[in-house]
Amino acid sequence: MNAIFPTGFTAPTALYLSLFAVTLVLHAVFMHYVLAGSTYLAFGRLMGPRRCAVCGWQSILVDWLPFATGLAITAGVAPLLFVQILHGREFATANLLLSHRWMAILPVLIVCFYLLYLQKSSWLARRRWVWRTVVAALACSGFIFIAWSWTENHLLMLDRDAWAPLYESGALRYASPGVLPRLALWFFSAFPTLAIELVWQGRLLGLDVTRPPAAAEVVLGLSPVRRLALAALSGVAGMTAAGGLYGQTLTAADREALFGPLGGPWLTIAITGLVVQGGTWLAAAFCNRMPHGLGVVTTIGWLATLCGLVAARESIRLVHVDIATLAERHATAASISGFPVFLTCAALTVIAIVWCVVAVRAGLAR
């Protein structure tokens, strides 16, 4: 593995690795919004009704979280298919070992989904404020549980030595020193994503941070853009700390993959993106607004971090599976026809989605 991910493999393997990475980035774009958004809301609700009414970000989150959850789930399906083509044996083994504990993500996801709708309801709006705090906290805890489950499942996949003892013990939990820092890394990485997504969403929905803030928008001494900067910078700091801690749990082979030719360039891209984001959010907090150009640079930095993170993540996994032995299986999978059908369906779906968005926008304008 002396070439940068995903090159250096046979063409079908490289194709599936690329498709997996790209679709996982897409999943993260929405999943981060849900994870950080529900956390932002759960903590925001503690400020009480008067302050929450002033915070435009909370209103946007209450409105959009159910839709974003739908997108996160839908976008999770594609990497779920590709991970099974690439690492079917490891993925299925971890699923089976974690058993009910793994399957629990489904009911939890359904409950969280309904809690987000409950949060929007006029029924809840008529109850005492404390119930809105409780509902937000429950939804947030549920999403953190789901993120924890994915992390635990991922690490169990990589730890073959743990499979037999875990099966024998019948335990439904895989305890490893890497779980908590890795979960923290994903958790904190969600905040810079949420912050930049809210910048763009706010511009579409009338909460424009390119202009100086009005006094009425200030909550606890923080303007809307400074609240986002605080969230993003806490995320950047948290990622740095969690990344450092997680790095200490890696084996020598993992480190070689992460810092070597396979993952090293991606790690550099991720860290560069993180530095860019840190700088631009500091500048935005200092100017008390985020001009358009600064927003574009932050977005580029954020995308670099996300892509770098996903590719570096996959580089580590590749040292745990003998991917060369699977080359034939990948070639067979790639040769099974259906790719043109997939492309046609994908194109039709994109056209349908664009048509829906255009139709709704036109309807709203009327």
Q: Which residues bind ligand HEM (CB under 6 A)?
A: 24, 27, 31, 34-35, 69, 72-73, 76-77, 79-80, 83, 109, 143, 146-147, 150-151, 154, 182, 186, 313
For ligand HEM, the closer of residues 90 and 256 by Cβ is: 90
User: 221 burial class (0-12, 13-18, 19+ CB within 10 angstroms)?
Assistant: exposed
For ligand HEM, the closer of residues 24 and 194 by Cβ is: 24
For ligand HEM, the closer of residues 61 and 284 by Cβ is: 61
For ligand HEM, the closer of residues 47 and 150 by Cβ is: 150
Q: Cβ 35 to ligand HEM, closest distance in Å? A: 5
Six token digits for residue 134 = 């409780």
Assess contact for 224 and 217: CB atoms under 8 A. yes
Q: Cβ 105 to ligand HEM, closest distance in Å? A: 7
For ligand HEM, the closer of residues 184 and 225 by Cβ is: 184
CB atoms < 10 A from the CB of 140, how many?
Answer: 23
Point out the residue whose Cβ comes nearest to ligand HEM. 76
For ligand HEM, the closer of residues 83 and 270 by Cβ is: 83
Q: Cβ 69 to ligand HEM, closest distance in Å? A: 6
Q: Rounded to whole angstroms, what are the CA distances from 274 to 32, 230, 234, 254?
A: 16, 15, 12, 22
- The closest of 179, 154, 161 to 246, measured between CA atoms, is 179
Contacts of 235 (CB under 8 A, 6+ apart): 36, 188, 189, 190, 191, 192, 193, 194, 195
- The closest of 24, 76, 45 to 189, measured between CA atoms, is 24
For ligand HEM, the closer of residues 17 and 31 by Cβ is: 31
Q: Cβ 111 to ligand HEM, closest distance in Å? A: 12
Six token digits for residue 244 = 């450092």
For ligand HEM, the closer of residues 225 and 314 by Cβ is: 314
Assess contact for 276 and 224: CB atoms under 8 A. no
CA atoms within 13 A on the CB side of 166: 20
Residue 192 backbone phi and psi in degrees, to 5: -60, -35
Residue whose structure tokens are 């043109």: 340
Q: Cβ 307 to ligand HEM, closest distance in Å? A: 14
Q: Cβ 39 to ligand HEM, closest distance in Å? A: 11
Contacts of 344 (CB under 8 A, 6+ apart): none
- The closest of 37, 170, 38 to 99, measured between CA atoms, is 170
Q: Cβ 335 to ligand HEM, closest distance in Å? A: 24
For ligand HEM, the closer of residues 63 and 208 by Cβ is: 63
Q: Cβ 341 to ligand HEM, closest distance in Å? A: 21
Which residue pairs from 17-22 have beta carbons closer than 8 angstroms and sit at least 24 positions apart in sequence?
A: 17/86, 17/314, 19/78, 19/82, 20/79, 20/82, 20/83, 20/86, 20/314, 21/307, 21/310, 21/311, 21/314
Q: Cβ 248 to ligand HEM, closest distance in Å? A: 16
